[in-house]
Amino acid sequence: MKTLVWVEHDGGSVKDATLSAVTAASKLGEVHLLVAGQGVDAVAQAAAQIAGVGKVHVADDAAFAHALAENVAPLVVELMGHHDAFVAPATTSGKNIAPRVAALLDVMQISDILSVEGEDTFTRPIYAGNAIATVQTSDAKKVITVRTTAFEKAAATGGSGTVEAVAASGADKGVSTFVGSEIAANARPELTSAKVIVSGGRALGSGEKFRELIEPLADKLGAGVGASRAAVDAGFVPNDYQVGQTGKIVAPEVYVAVGISGAIQHLAGMKDSKIIVAINKDEDAPIFQVADIGLVGDLFKIVPELTEKL
Amino acid sequence: MKVLVPVKRVLDYNVKPRVKADGSGVDLSNVKMSMNPFDEIAVEEAIRLREGKNGGGVTEVIAVSVGEQKCTETLRTALAMGADRAILVQTDEKVEPLAVAKILKAIADEEGPSLVILGKQAIDDDNNQTGQMLAGLTGWGQGTFASKVELAPDSVTVTREVDGGLETEKLTLPAIVTTDLRLNEPRYASLPNIMKAKSKPLSNKTPADYGVDVTPRIKTLKVVEPGKRQAGVKVADVDELVNKLTVLGIRK
């Protein structure tokens, strides 16, 4: 089976999410990549280095600069003429593009897979991760998004893919234009790839307290910083910090939940973490049912003391 | 202009799903069902646009649901919130996003809405597909994961929640928008409005009326509970916590 993988990139380098998608795709057969964007030579070269990659299709055009689904989907559909599966990481861009591709191919997409059980059989979480379904598709072409935390990353080097340009005439479908973006400045490790994450909840009370308590602890541990929906909705931190069913899905080595009660929507985003540490003053908080190490007490006392003693 | 708002009846978000012992699925008998939370946000946004907020120019809001007869309740909720009329596409089959998108495409062809606002995902199957698929089938622009929507006479500007921050796109009308959690705070339906909703028009259709085959493409072989986590330990104080972290090699 020939599989086309959507390469998630920032214009200069390949994002880690792609490497997980490559691992999932390699379980289906031959892996080809699609690099779409504007001025993406460096990305294409980097993509060709990924272990196990065959052809790297490169579509370089202004129409693809911001990965607008309206322009990218027809490009993918064209390439699907000689591929059997399209695989994208379940990032916001993968989730935006892949279903549009599936509809144009008249196939059902399989979202957010956790494992590949056979060439047409996969597992995926439903009901906020409270159930795992094994599903089998009857579609000839497959469109799949991959939960990146469920697959090891493919080695970023050691491959020898061949780079091939794709013609992009008429790529701008003219129904959408990119206006601008506001990317949150964050010097810490990216949440979805961080080994350690310190997350704060509503109990912190304010954005100042969040920064004052959570950030020094995160710095001590070299950790990424996350938050519950309550903390985001209360305006303590920007929404791209949110971990959960509707935010980011993370699975770090260590997840430290501070002042987070553990609603099912939050657990959906972090319960595959290797070790969960919970600090909460309510000893009946649901978070303690999944925490490996729990400490009941006042976070305003515990967190500074912990930061100090580490 | 018209706005179409598809809504789905799902297991209430506060209910912990129970997986059936025979592995055939999640037990939905005798549990509370509600409108998918993202769809409530979609209904709210459509009504705000009709009220003239965020642009305005909307004259009619049509709620649509695909599924069993009981989806009527979900549509009545949308009507009580302020939708003008509703369409139930009734079927007892479990309809996949692709088939829902095809039905919605047919309704869009018939009704000619300028905007279709959907939730970004349903909290039961967690697919996050229908809006994008409908956009693909209609060829319209898609503003997914919207946290802000501004409507103009011939375009809609959508601020989207993406990994890393926010992104803004301008789409030519007609267009598709899918809602993220922070788009708005949905209103509660007042009792008088719930009473009024009972007399608002609700038409009954079937997938066959739209010529859509709803046969599933994906077969669910089994549904199991996720692996249980080992019970953890509670520590008494910070020193003990630091010791544990040290033993586990977590200290930097």
pLDDT in tens, A118-136: 999 999 999 999 999 999 9
User: So what's the pLDDT on residue B80?
Assistant: 98
In-domain check, residue A190: no
Min Cα distance B199 → chain A (Å) is 34
Task: Identify whether B168 is part of a domain.
Answer: yes
**Has residue A185 been placed in a domain?**
no
DSSP per-residue string spanning A120-149:
TEEEEEETTTTEEEEEEE--SSEEEEE-GG
Instruction: Based on the fold, state whether residues A136 and A202 are members of the same structural domain.
Output: no
Q: Which of B142, B159, B171 to mutate to test the interface with A (most CBs of A within 10 A)?
A: B142
**Total Cβ atoms within 10 A of residue A287:** 25
First to last CA, chain A: 50
Q: Examine the domain organization and report whether A267 and A217 are in the same domain.
A: yes
pLDDT in tens, A71-109: 999 999 999 999 999 999 999 999 999 999 999 999 999
CATH number at residue A250: 3.40.50.1220
Q: How far is A180 from chain B (nearest CA, A)?
A: 5
Residues A14 and A161 in one domain: yes
How close B242 gets to chain A, by Cα (Å)?
A: 7
Say if B230 falls within a structural domain. no
Note whether A225 and A299 are same-domain residues.
yes
User: If you count them, how many residues does chain A have?
Assistant: 310
Q: Is residue B174 part of a domain?
A: yes
**pTM for this model (two decimals):** 0.94
* A191 part of a folded domain: no
Q: Check CB contact under 8 Å for B217 and A128.
A: no
Two tokens at B64? 């649509």
The domain containing residue A244 runs over which residues?
Answer: 196-309
Residue B236 domain-assigned (yes or no): no
Q: Is residue B128 part of a domain?
A: yes
By Cβ distance, the residue of A92, A100, A302 closest to B133 is A100
Min Cα distance A114 → chain B (Å) is 11
The answer to whether residue A179 neighbours chain B at the CB level (below 8 Å) is: yes
Q: Is the pLDDT of residue A150 over 90?
A: yes
Q: What angle do CA A245, B218, B115 make, to 5 degrees?
A: 60
Window 58-97 of A, Cβ < 8 Å to B: 66, 68-70, 73, 91-93, 95-97
Q: Rounded to whole angstroms, how far apart are CA atoms A119 and A138?
A: 11
Residue A53, SS3?
strand
Report the residue of chain A nearest B177, measured CA to CA.
A96
Q: Are residues A91 and A153 in the same domain?
A: yes
A130 and A259 belong to one structural domain: no
Q: What is the CATH number of the domain that holds B64?
A: 3.40.50.620
pLDDT score, position B53: 86
- Establish if A187 belongs to a structural domain: no
Q: Cα–Cα distance between A25 and A85 in angstroms, integer?
A: 8
- Structure-token match 């509970």, residue found: B225
DSSP letter assigned to residue B75: H
Measured between beta carbons, the chain B residues lying within 8 angstroms of A130 are 16-17, 19, 26, 225-226
Q: Please give, rounded to a whole number of angstroms, the shortest distance from the CA of B200 to a CA of chain A.
A: 32
Phi then psi dihedrals of residue B189, to 5 deg: -80, 130
* C-alpha distance from B103 to closest chain A C-alpha (Å): 13
Residue B251 inside a domain? The answer is no
Please say whether the beta carbons of A23 and A151 come within 8 A. Answer: yes
Nearest-by-Cβ selection for B221 from A134, A186, A291: A134
Please indicate, yes or no, whether residues A12 and A142 belong to a single structural domain of this protein: yes
Query: Could you tell me whether strands A176-183 and A85-89 are parallel, antiparallel, or unpaired per DSSP bridges?
Result: unpaired
A284 touches chain B (CB under 8 A): no
Hey, how many other C-beta atoms are within 10 angstroms of the C-beta on A77? 18
| Mutation site for A-interface testing, chosen from B133, B160, B185, B239 by largest number of A Cβ within 10 Å | B133
Determine the pLDDT at residue B252.
Answer: 53
- Domain harbouring A132, CATH code: 3.40.50.620
Digit-coded pLDDT (tens) for A232-265:
999 999 888 999 988 899 999 999 999 999 998 9
Q: Does residue A176 fall inside a structural domain?
A: no
Confidence of residue A192 (pLDDT cuts 50, 70, 90): confident
Q: Pinpoint the alpha helices (H) of chain A.
A: 16-26, 41-48, 69-79, 92-105, 207-209, 215-221, 229-233, 264-270, 299-309
**Residue A222: closest C-alpha in chain B:** B252
Residue A40 lies in a domain: yes
Q: What is the dihedral of CA A187, A35, A1, B131, to 10 degrees?
A: 80
In this structure, are residues A42 and A25 in contact, taking their beta carbons and an 8 Å threshold? no
For residue A19, is pLDDT > 90?
yes
Q: Residue A185: pLDDT above 80?
A: no
**Does the beta carbon of A18 lie under 8 angstroms from any beta carbon of chain B?**
no
Beta-carbon separation of A254 and B166 below 8 A: no
All residue ranges of chain B with pLDDT < 50 are none
Q: Mutating which of A72, A91, A92 best tests the B interface, going by the most B Cβ atoms within 10 A?
A: A92
- Minimal Cα distance from B172: which residue of A? A175
For residues A130 and A9, membership in a common domain is answered with yes
Residues A155 and A6 in one domain: yes
Domain termination site, one of A121, A142, A165: A165
Both tokens assigned to B108: 């869009």
Return the closest-CA partner of residue B93 out of B59, B124, B67, B55. B67
Report long-range pairs for B240-245 (Cβ below 8 Å, ≥24 apart). B241/A277, B241/A293, B241/A295, B241/A306, B242/A306, B242/A309, B242/A310, B244/A293, B245/A277, B245/A293, B245/A310
> A165, A188, A205 — which closes off a domain?
A165
**Percent of chain A surpassing pLDDT 70:** 100
Of A133, A181, A264, nearest to B167 by CB-CB distance is A181
Domain contains B242: no
Q: Are residues A155 and A201 in the same domain?
A: no
Whether A154 and A33 map to the same domain: the answer is yes
Same domain, A78 and A23: yes
Q: Is A172 part of any domain?
A: no
For residue B238, give the chain A residue with the closest CA: A306
Q: How many domains does chain A have?
A: 2
Q: Find the length of chain B.
A: 252
CB within 8 Å: A138 and B219: yes
B137, B164, B169 member nearest A183 (Cβ) = B164
Q: For position B198, what pLDDT does the model report?
A: 96
For residue B24, the enclosing domain spans 2-225
Quote the pLDDT of residue B251: 63
- B239 falls within a domain: no
Q: Is residue A121 part of a domain?
A: yes
In a mutagenesis test of the A interface, which of B132, B172, B215, B239 is the best target, namely the one with the most A β-carbons within 10 Å?
B132
Q: How many domains does chain B have?
A: 1
Residue numbers in the known binding site of A for FAD are: 202, 228-229, 242-246, 259-266, 280
